[in-house]
Amino acid sequence: MRKLSLAAAILAATALHAPAYADGHLQIVEGDPLELTIQMNHARYPVYKEDWPVEQQAREWTNIHLVDVTVGANMTSDSENTGRTEALNLMLASGNIPDIVGSSRIKDFVNQYGPEGAFMPLNDLIEEHAPNLKAFFDEKPHIRSALTAADGNMYYIPYLPDGKYGRAYWIRTDWLDKLGLDVPETVDEYEAVLRAFKTQDPNGNGEADEVPFFARQWPEFIRLVTLWDGRSSGSDTYHDFMVVDGELQHPYAGEGYRDGISNLARWYAEGLVDTEVFTRGSSARDFLLSENLGGSTHDWFASTSGYNRLSSEIDGFAFKAFAPPASVSGKRIEEHRRIPIKPDGWAIGGFNKHPVETIKYFDFWFTEEGRRLANFGVEGMHYDMVDGKAIFKQEFLDAGPVNRSLYQVGSQLQGRGYFQDYNYEIQWSNEFALEGIALYDEGDYLIDQFLGVAFNPEEQKVYDKYWGSVRDYMLERQQAWILGSADVMAEWDDYQAQLEKLGLSQVLEVMQSAYNRQYSN
């Protein structure tokens, strides 16, 4: 009996102290470590650092060592609209394509140059050597479709965000209380509340200086067309196409959009919206809330909830998320959500001599241990396991913005293909954000997103030829209508005719053919 207990105790102690990976099940190569070169480049971390604790841990587990050969790091411009970084072009021009290439906005780049041989197709490699990736894609076929290039192959493993919620409607609930108003439930009530903010001096300084609706990004103001059953975008990218019952459309050509713009122009003329909404820019939220002037906005949960710290300076300050007001037809939708797949991630260079080991290495990041490493850093250093969950160490949470701390140790890198774990973020979201997310969860306001298409060379040509001028025209008229220099209702037929003339139909046609090819299964 005594012996048995002792043996059991030793076993228990071994289980407690032996690391989970002691059996070597994550090891990919035996003997000497296999070195693979990597170009990794992102606005936040311009080169791959071999001394990142996360890289060190991955080396220990897999016996694969990544060696940084990143070129063009200083040239990265990571511009929103170019779709590819200068660094990738420099790398290609140098003629040296490393074994692994990780970057922000790599999708269009690999889909263009992969079929020409610069990157390896991953489909068969995944099928034969990457059980965790295969299981992931089998479970999420829409992600597989979204990843597929025009030739039917997959050329990169993306960064896959987790969590559904991004932005919400926010309002000064203490102002509502002060004026004896309820949280607005409909577009009409929302308008009445914004007007009361403008005319009834909720900040109490005797001046009509309140800015009822404001936005850091002006397209968030345009997004209010959803209150008139219009749409402003089909994805988390502004002005994007959308899919309605399998058909590609552009939001800025719809009648709900027309009606929404007409009403938003009226709101703007009546002072219910920041007169500087198109120019104030990213400091709008910080300035207008800190100065006790801003009443309502549409912005991210986590960062906006943080402004409740102002309650220590502004008596009674409370800025809370509220549910999307019902539209004129009674629909409540939240158009913005996190997209489940990003154009960022990593790919295998076309000259890589170890494709099997490399796909196994990519697969490692989709194992339980690898995913935790990608999300939370190194156990015992950055987090501890508590009741089966990774919980950040308090000193790590206290060390500054958690996102930044994670980049600095090699975690949450968007130039790496990995599946984010939303639990990493919940641990540092404040009560106002969590309360708001619960409210949005309860109401189920999110709508489906357009996950993008991959063009073949002919489609790409058509898109490149027409889309720029169509888009410019749309945005130019949009602003003229809001600012009141033209009337959307009077101009609508001419506007439609001009869109046709500029080639919107041709653009929609190639979008549709790419979409049908890509998502027909």
User: Which residues lie near Ca ion (CB under 5 A)?
Assistant: 201, 203, 205, 207, 209
Beta carbon nearer to Ca ion, 293 or 480: 293
**Nearer CB in complex with Ca ion: 35/276:** 276
**26, 367 in Cβ contact below 8 A?**
yes
Alpha-helical (H) ranges within 293-377 are 301-305, 355-364, 368-376
Least Cβ distance, residue 193 to Ca ion (angstroms): 15
Cβ neighbours of residue 16 closer than 8 Å, sequence gap 6 or more: none
> By three-state DSSP, how is residue 233 classified?
coil
Comparison of 202 and 260: residue with beta carbon closer to Ca ion: 202
Closest distance between Ca ion and the C-beta of residue 209, in Å? 5
| CB 271, min distance to Ca ion, A | 12
The nearer residue to Ca ion, 204 or 246, going by C-beta atoms, is 204
We find the least distance from the C-beta atom of residue 202 to Ca ion, in angstroms, to be 7
Where are the strands (E) in 228-386, listed by range?
242-244, 247-249, 294-300, 319-322, 345-348, 383-386
CB atoms inside a 10 Å sphere around CB 472: 11
What is residue 153's three-state secondary structure? coil
Pair type for strands 100-103 and 34-41: parallel
Q: In the complex with Ca ion, which residue's Cβ is closer, 219 or 271?
A: 271
User: Kind and range of the H or E element at 53?
Assistant: helix 53-62
From the centroid of its chain, how far is CA 500? 32
| Min CB(314)–Ca ion separation in Å | 13
- Find out whether 132 and 367 touch, Cβ atoms under 8 Å: yes
Closer residue to Ca ion, CB minimum distance, 205 or 303: 205
Nearer of residues 37 and 292 to Ca ion, judged by Cβ = 292
> Given the complex with Ca ion, which of 197 and 466 has the nearer CB atom?
197
Q: Which helix (H) or strand (E) holds 442?
A: helix 431-443
DSSP class of residue 67 equals E
CB of 206 to Ca ion, least distance (A): 7
Least gap, CB of 320 to Ca ion (angstroms): 20
Q: How far is the CB of 486 from Ca ion (least distance, A)?
A: 32
CB atoms within 10 A of CB 25: 10
Residue environment code for 326-335, b if the CB has 16+ CB neighbours within 10 A, otherwise e? bbeeeebbbb
Please state whether beta strands 157-160 and 345-348 pair in parallel, antiparallel, or not at all (unpaired): antiparallel
